[in-house]
Structure 1
C-alpha cells in the first residue's frame, strides 16, 4: 500500500515537472495566454471573447440595464 502511494506521488511530481519545464527552467517563463481576448492570432482574425461580444451586443441593442 505504501509503495503504491509513493509511486503515485513520484509519478504526479514528475508529471508536474514535465508540464512546467518552460515555467520552471526558462528565465521569465510564464504560462501561455490561452484566453481568447489575449491571443494575438485570434485578434488578427477578429475573434473576441464570448463575454466581450455578448456585452457589446447588449449595449448596441439597448438590452443592457
Structure 2
C-alpha cells in the first residue's frame, strides 16, 4: 500500500516537472497565456472574452466613435 502511494506521488512529481521544463530551464520563463486576451490574432478580429464583450456592450458609443473604430 505504501509502495503504491509513493510510486504514485513520484509519477505525479515527474509529470509536473516535465510540464514545467520550459519555465524552469528558460531564464525569465513563464507559462504561456492561454486566455483569449493573450491571443493577438483573435484581438485583431475583435474577438474578446465574455466579460470584455459585456463591458463593451454596456458602454454605448455615439456614431462618430463607432466610425473611428471601423478604420
What is the CA–CA distance in structure 2 between the aligned matches of 1:24 and 1:41, rounded to whole Å? 28
1:9-20 superposed matches below 5 A: 9-20=9-20
Q: Matched residue of 1:22: which SS?
A: helix
* Alignment deviations for residues 4-57 of structure 1 (CA, whole Å, 9 cap, x no partner): 111011000000011111111111111101121122121122211210101111
Q: Larger Cα Rg: Structure 1 or Structure 2? A: 2
State the superposition RMSD in angstroms. Answer: 1.5
Aligned to 1:30: 30
Q: Tell me how far 1:60 sits from its aligned partner.
A: 1.7
Alignment gaps of 5+ in structure 2:
62-71
TM-score normalised over the length of structure 2: 0.75
Task: Return structure 1 stretches of 4+ with deviation > 6 angstroms.
Answer: none
Aligned to 1:6: 6
